[in-house]
Amino acid sequence: MAGLAGLSLPTANALYAQGLEDEKNFKDLPKRIEEYHKNHVQRFNMSGYAAPAIENVRVGIIGLGNRGPTYIKTMGPLKGVQIVALAELRPEKAVQAEKMAKEYGHSPDIYAGDENAWKKLCERDDIDLVVVTTHYPAHAKMGIYAMKNGKHTAIAVPVAATIEECWELVKTAEETKRHCMMLENCSYHTFQMTTLNMARKGFYGELVHGECAYNSSKMHNNFTKNFYWNMWWLKEYASKKGNIYPTHGLGPICQMMDINRGDQLDFLVSMESKDFMMAEKAAELNAKDPFYNEFVGKDYRGNMNCTLIKTKKGRTIMLQHDATSPSPETYIMGAYGTKGASLKYPSPPRICTGNHKWASQDEYEKVMEQYKPKIIKTFNEMANKLGGHGGSDAYKSWRLIDCLRGGFPLDIDVYDSVTWSCILPLSSWSVNNNSNSIQIPDFTVGAWKNNERNMDIDLKYYANTVLK
């Protein structure tokens, strides 16, 4: 299989072409999955891998649009972090990001205005960690190139758009022994970390079912001129099917079910409504503004996608994605076991102690306090100061940096990153094939049976990284 790192970055129109290319390969996807599986030999088990400690973590960030600057804000103030370089296609965004980095006492070199300049950032020999926060079709390519150039990588969600990219990320991480962590902030919400602790301590008995979602309308943002670089999100919705944003909900549920370490995702089926909103909106906007002409007449992703997953141990997961309807935002986050249950949305969050009723608010608070993991007790004050998605961005950045500084295994490894991301192409295949089932690759090729837990909410490993 050809490596991806040498290919040049897709241009705006190539993004469309990439979508079409994937569609062409869809027919073969089950066969391709079988072949990748048969041919993949785990060169090194990255689960539980602890890279040599790096006292002062030198960071480069690629892509400084809406999301990238979060990492300046949450890593910049930490002791033992130096932001060395920033790569951004749009010079004005690079200038803003540079200014922000300076406010935190960093003087990064800037690579701007050239769509391949990010490679130069990856090639530097004074960078330890490359953070990738560009549009997701470019994630895998950038992460692979960074690892091949000896850097650990932390990549925004999702880490990959195709099955081939998923395998290539795994192969590269195993060959180079470089970390590849997906920057999944939802794993670091207080509710998610506490319910993970509850799952580990037996509150649910045996977990039977999880339900999760990213149901949050992006109609405004996606159709606003250049809210996202090059209207890339709208182009994604105009050219793909399936759940193209699965990881915020699925990640924490997989962690509760010990996926990749005791259980494994087995197969999925995915069903999608028709699009009742986006094509209409594109036509409406085009009537007043020719800018929207290229978005007219597209076969948009359906408004609601529902994906059902079965695990090897026989559990089930229901995963939704709705980015258009005007209903209230929900991530659902339900976990149901033989002894107890919890549900985060619709608010207020609730738990059930096994008596067929949701507990009172008092009891909820008592139980949540009882199961609050050490990570929250230790870092909550700092997380509140740094902020970002209710402090979850701060936890995530801090844990990543602290683990690199201490030489500890990361909370989310390359297998988790690709397992949660591979739902994109797989759900797309299922939607395009009458909701037939499709096998979910085992990127650990069997190692999941013996891998140990990694999301270290008890802070077994802790290097005491503090604010400057």
The answer to whether residue 66 forms part of the interface with ligand NAD (CB under 6 A) is yes
Among 216, 184, 213, 430, smallest CA distance to 318 is for 213
Q: Which residue lies nearer to ligand NAD by CB, 204 or 345?
A: 345
What are the b/e assignments for 343-356, b being 16+ CB within 10 Å?
Answer: bbbeeebbbbeeee
The answer to whether residue 134 forms part of the interface with ligand NAD (CB under 6 A) is yes
CB 68 → ligand NAD: shortest distance, Å? 6
Contacting residue, 22, 88, 168, 275, with ligand NAD by CB under 6 A: 88
Q: Which residue lies nearer to ligand NAD by CB, 204 or 295?
A: 295
> How far are the Cα atoms of 240, 242, 428 from residue 23, in angstroms, in the given order?
8, 12, 9
The answer to whether residue 118 forms part of the interface with ligand NAD (CB under 6 A) is yes
The answer to whether residue 157 forms part of the interface with ligand NAD (CB under 6 A) is yes
CB 130 → ligand NAD: shortest distance, Å? 12
Contacting residue, 36, 49, 71, 136, with ligand NAD by CB under 6 A: 136
The answer to whether residue 187 forms part of the interface with ligand NAD (CB under 6 A) is no
| Residue number closest to ligand NAD, CB atom | 65
Contacting residue, 40, 106, 119, 135, with ligand NAD by CB under 6 A: 135
Among 365, 329, 339, 328, smallest CA distance to 350 is for 365
- What strand order describes the sheet that includes 350-352? 350-352, 341-343, 334-337, 207-215, 316-322, 304-311, 265-272, 438-439
CB 422 → ligand NAD: shortest distance, Å? 15
The answer to whether residue 90 forms part of the interface with ligand NAD (CB under 6 A) is yes
Contacting residue, 40, 93, 119, 189, with ligand NAD by CB under 6 A: 93
Q: Which residue lies nearer to ligand NAD by CB, 62 or 207?
A: 62
Q: Which residue lies nearer to ligand NAD by CB, 123 or 266?
A: 123
The answer to whether residue 185 forms part of the interface with ligand NAD (CB under 6 A) is yes
Tell me the C-alpha distance between 205 and 354, whole Å. 10
The answer to whether residue 63 forms part of the interface with ligand NAD (CB under 6 A) is yes
CB 231 → ligand NAD: shortest distance, Å? 9
The answer to whether residue 9 forms part of the interface with ligand NAD (CB under 6 A) is yes
What does DSSP assign to residue 340? -
**Residue with tokens 């002894």, as numbered in its chain:** 339
Q: Which residue lies nearer to ligand NAD by CB, 36 or 214?
A: 214
> How far are the Cα atoms of 254, 424, 465 from residue 442, in angstroms, in the given order?
14, 15, 34
Angle at 23 between CA 221 and CA 184, to 5 degrees: 45
Residue 116 phi, psi dihedral angles, 5° rounding: -110, 5
Binders of ligand NAD: how many residues, by CB under 6 A? 28
Tell me the C-alpha distance between 447 and 330, whole Å. 34
Residues 84/58, Cβ–Cβ less than 8 Å? yes
| Piece in contact with ligand NAD (CB under 6 A), picked from 163-171, 191-199, 225-233, 327-335 | 225-233
Q: Which residue lies nearer to ligand NAD by CB, 364 or 398?
A: 398
Residues 402/88, Cβ–Cβ less than 8 Å? no
Tell me the C-alpha distance between 281 and 325, whole Å. 12
Neighbours of 372 (CB within 10 A): 16
| Piece in contact with ligand NAD (CB under 6 A), picked from 57-65, 196-204, 297-305, 408-416 | 57-65
- What is the DSSP annotation of 142-173? HHHHHHHTT-EEEEPSPS-SSHHHHHHHHHHH
Contacting residue, 33, 61, 140, 156, with ligand NAD by CB under 6 A: 156
The answer to whether residue 115 forms part of the interface with ligand NAD (CB under 6 A) is yes
Q: Which residue lies nearer to ligand NAD by CB, 187 or 264?
A: 187
Residues 234/222, Cβ–Cβ less than 8 Å? yes
CB 442 → ligand NAD: shortest distance, Å? 25
Q: Which residue lies nearer to ligand NAD by CB, 215 or 451?
A: 215
CB 70 → ligand NAD: shortest distance, Å? 8
**Residue with tokens 């359906």, as numbered in its chain:** 302
The answer to whether residue 371 forms part of the interface with ligand NAD (CB under 6 A) is no
The answer to whether residue 65 forms part of the interface with ligand NAD (CB under 6 A) is yes
The answer to whether residue 228 forms part of the interface with ligand NAD (CB under 6 A) is yes
Tell me the C-alpha distance between 193 and 379, whole Å. 13
- What is the DSSP annotation of 90-117? SHHHHHHHHHHHHHTT---EEEES-TTH
Tell me the C-alpha distance between 26 and 32, whole Å. 9
Restricting to residues 394-433, which ones interact with ligand NAD according to CB under 6 A?
none
Residues 467/78, Cβ–Cβ less than 8 Å? yes
CB 121 → ligand NAD: shortest distance, Å? 9
Binding site for ligand NAD (CB under 6 A): 9, 62-68, 87-90, 93, 115, 118, 133-136, 138, 156-157, 183, 185, 228-229, 232, 389
